[in-house]
Amino acid sequence: MRTTLEEVIKRLRTAQRVLVIGHIKPDGDDISSVVSLVLILRKLGTTAEGCIADPIPWFYQSLHGVSVIKTVEELKDYQYDTSVTVDASELSRIGDAVKLLHGNPPDIAIDHHKTNTGFGRLDFCDPKYAATAMIIYEIGKQLIVYDPNLAESTLLGIATDTGFFKYANTDYKVFLYAAELLQAGADIQHIASAVLEHRTLNEIRLLTEMFNALKISEDGKLAWSFISTEMLIRNGCTEEETDGLVGEIRAIHGVEIAILFIEWPKHHVHISFRSKSYADVSGLALKFGGGGHSRAAGCSCKNVDPESLIEKVISEAAKIL
Amino acid sequence: MRTTLEEVIKRLRTAQRVLVIGHIKPDGDDISSVVSLVLILRKLGTTAEGCIADPIPWFYQSLHGVSVIKTVEELKDYQYDTSVTVDASELSRIGDAVKLLHGNPPDIAIDHHKTNTGFGRLDFCDPKYAATAMIIYEIGKQLIVYDPNLAESTLLGIATDTGFFKYANTDYKVFLYAAELLQAGADIQHIASAVLEHRTLNEIRLLTEMFNALKISEDGKLAWSFISTEMLIRNGCTEEETDGLVGEIRAIHGVEIAILFIEWPKHHVHISFRSKSYADVSGLALKFGGGGHSRAAGCSCKNVDPESLIEKVISEAAKIL
């Protein structure tokens, strides 16, 4: 049932033991939302635990509060009266943590994705928020006073989901909340350094190879590259380490659409689409079985020949330019 | 004479014809400060012109207001009653525009550099401001109402001088003013795309070569690379296009000090120093005749053998780690 933030806050005030669950393939906003809500509830005197089914990428570990997050296994005997999912657009996004719900829907689902399916007993989803962390912040401000650690955890989600204050979703509220969180003691340089400055030498070698394989259309508006299974193995990189590489292609002057094809494992190709100022790439991703936003979208194609897939995708992309 | 912001505002209110001058090798804050002050004064009904002696890097041209800036030649017959320098720490920083002052000091000098020498008749310099654009904004707010173009011009300086809200100088005021400027109609995505996403294919080739030449200390804390005159020529790049490359080295996981040596022209080596979280590289730059901040500093060494210079610098850098 769709509800208001006030109802969510009221429900959380009466909770005694809470389980907070984030989504798989955790990103900054996911981690931030789980950690922040757990810390808010604990400050309120409520017993609270946070769970994400997938491992947390290593570079987030130096940030305050991240160690709060537990695995499904660690929480399998945890007794709670209120379950909350955060930043998950559908129930399947919480992965194995669904076991902890014992077949029930979550009592509260808090999210900001346009595609949210409304699977909670109480649902609060508003895509106007640039990050779920901002919703959690509005809840937290009503309940407790922010300390530096909680402020850092919250700012992490706001920063990462706005591409560190650069994406189109960066509105005045994003900056205003960032200002408030800095006053509460958050350190944006610390967050930026942890999240953005962790490139490994293997990743640099992969980046170099990606640039060597770069193709660009005659008018310079469409640029793409292909990272093969062999390239990943040769450079000792996992698929996760290709994160952000498509942005390096979009950063080329004159490029409107950037596309990165990643083959992992053999004959499975993940495609990331990015656009710079006007092209809507979500339809492009949809055409190949994926989805996303107008400036950032993606899809996964199984059992394909990379070469002919690339040819097909590039010809479709050229059509929308 | 050091003065208050109130005095500066009072003086600007009574001015009839103003000349605003920025510094050579213009960066975002410089351009922002010149354009914003000119636009503020014009809104006030004052005649105002803006001058920067060096050419404006091409990628700023798509931003509102940048076309306001004129060359020294274009303004050589311009009559004014009030001259203002912005973002210049000493008079020599305005380059050839000094001719327009006819041997006089500027009537007003507005700056935020710690090293400001106090060369204006009225001087306002406060290093607590992350950007000179923020000082201009505080002046403007007292005088006029912000429109979207002026808001964009102002936000440009705040964004660039804080490394797009990531450097240690990013305080709550930075975010608060950014919030206000977005409410006034500025578009941060537009600014970010113009300033950050303009890499040329030549620059990518240079980046790749820089990575190929990368050296890293055994403990991984010190990383450096060398861009030779030959590499610049081979890739059709100018020295200006090496801007930001040292940040790519600092972004490597575990690296505390990143150093980039650029030889241009032959036997002249410019050195950029960056540190990630604790090392103070300003002393290092000072030792080789330069200066700067603790996290970002630089120096230029003339008539040197790059190889032996690199050896010396690296051995000094290792000492402070």
Cross-chain CB nearest to A197 (options B172, B180, B276): B276
Task: Provide the 3-class DSSP secondary structure of residue A311.
Answer: helix
Give percent above pLDDT 90 in chain B. Answer: 92
> Under a CB-based contact definition with an 8 Å cutoff, are residues A253 and B59 in contact?
yes
Q: Which residues of B57-85 are buried (b: 16+ CB within 10 A; e: fewer)?
A: bebbeebbbbebbbebeebeeeebebbbb
- Per-residue pLDDT reduced to its tens digit, A163-204: 999 998 999 999 999 999 999 999 999 999 999 998 999 999
- From edge to edge, which strands make up the β-sheet containing B296-301? B215-216, B222-227, B257-263, B269-275, B296-301, B291-292
Q: Alpha-carbon distance A202 to A234, whole Å?
A: 9
Q: Which residue has the tokens 């005659």?
A: A218
Tell whether A79 is within 8 A of chain B (Cβ).
Answer: no
Cross-chain CB nearest to A276 (options B197, B199, B204): B197
Tell whether A165 is within 8 A of chain B (Cβ).
Answer: yes
Q: Alpha-carbon distance B7 to B169, whole Å?
A: 26
Chain A residues with CB inside 8 Å of B276's CB? 193, 197
> Under a CB-based contact definition with an 8 Å cutoff, are residues A226 and A305 in contact?
no
DSSP letter string, B13-44: HH-SEEEEE--SS--HHHHHHHHHHHHHHHHT
How many CA within 13 A on the CB side of residue B130? 26
pLDDT for B92: 95
For residue B203, give the chain A residue with the closest CA.
Answer: A252
Range with the poorest average pLDDT among A9-23, A129-143, A233-247, B2-16: A233-247
Tell if the CB–CB gap between A189 and B198 is shorter than 8 Å.
no
DSSP state of A69: E
pTM: 0.92
Tell if the CB–CB gap between B199 and A253 is shorter than 8 Å.
yes
pLDDT for B114: 86
For residue B181, give the chain A residue with the closest CA.
Answer: A172
* Total Cβ atoms within 10 A of residue A316: 13
For A263: left if phi > 0, alpha if psi spans -120 to 50, otherwise beta; the answer is beta
Cross-chain CB nearest to B166 (options A188, A205, A250): A188
Tell if the CB–CB gap between B164 and A168 is shorter than 8 Å.
no
- B241 pLDDT exceeds 90? no
Average pLDDT, chain A: 95
Tell whether B253 is within 8 A of chain A (Cβ).
Answer: yes
Tell if the CB–CB gap between A178 and B165 is shorter than 8 Å.
yes
> Under a CB-based contact definition with an 8 Å cutoff, are residues B19 and B78 in contact?
yes
pLDDT for A173: 98
Give percent above pLDDT 70 in chain B. Answer: 100
pLDDT mean over A115-144: 96
pLDDT for A164: 97
**B115 pLDDT tier (thresholds 50, 70, 90):** confident
**A291 pLDDT tier (thresholds 50, 70, 90):** confident
pLDDT for B292: 80
Q: Alpha-carbon distance A314 to B153, whole Å?
A: 37
Cross-chain CB nearest to B164 (options A164, A198, A204): A164
> Nearest-CA distance from A213 to chain B in Å?
12
Q: Which two tokens stand for residue A143?
A: 């309940």
> Nearest-CA distance from A14 to chain B in Å?
34
Tell whether B202 is within 8 A of chain A (Cβ).
Answer: no
pLDDT for A37: 98
Tell whether A216 is within 8 A of chain B (Cβ).
Answer: yes
Number of H helices, E strands in chain B: 11, 12
> Nearest-CA distance from A96 to chain B in Å?
31
> Under a CB-based contact definition with an 8 Å cutoff, are residues B234 and B268 in contact?
no
pLDDT for A64: 87
Tell whether B182 is within 8 A of chain A (Cβ).
Answer: yes
- Per-residue pLDDT reduced to its tens digit, B64-103: 899 999 999 999 999 999 999 999 999 999 999 999 999 9
Tell whether A274 is within 8 A of chain B (Cβ).
Answer: no
pLDDT for A244: 86
> Nearest-CA distance from A239 to chain B in Å?
18
> Under a CB-based contact definition with an 8 Å cutoff, are residues B119 and B106 in contact?
yes
pLDDT for B295: 87
Q: Alpha-carbon distance A285 to A292, whole Å?
A: 7
- A241 pLDDT exceeds 90? no
Average pLDDT, chain B: 95
> Under a CB-based contact definition with an 8 Å cutoff, are residues A34 and A22 in contact?
yes
pLDDT mean over A38-49: 98
Chains A and B form CB pairs within 8 A to the count of: 112
- Per-residue pLDDT reduced to its tens digit, B163-176: 999 998 999 999 99
Burial of B275 (0-12, 13-18, 19+ CB in 10 A): buried
- Strands A108-111 and A122-125 turn out to be parallel
Chain A residues with CB inside 8 Å of B200's CB? 252-253
pLDDT mean over B142-159: 98
**A1 pLDDT tier (thresholds 50, 70, 90):** confident
Tell whether B165 is within 8 A of chain A (Cβ).
Answer: yes
- Per-residue pLDDT reduced to its tens digit, A53-93: 999 999 999 998 999 999 999 999 999 999 999 999 999 99
Tell if the CB–CB gap between B199 and A171 is shorter than 8 Å.
no
Tell whether A180 is within 8 A of chain B (Cβ).
Answer: yes
Tell if the CB–CB gap between B251 and A201 is shorter than 8 Å.
no
DSSP letter string, A29-54: HHHHHHHHHHHHHHHTT-EEEEE-SS
pLDDT for B64: 86
- A313 pLDDT exceeds 90? yes
- CA angle (B43 as vertex; B38, B44 as ends), nearest 5: 95
Q: Which residue has the tokens 């040596």?
A: B261
How many CA within 13 A on the CB side of residue A257? 26
pLDDT for B293: 81
Cross-chain CB nearest to A200 (options B193, B197, B253): B253
Task: Provide the 3-class DSSP secondary structure of residue B280.
Answer: coil
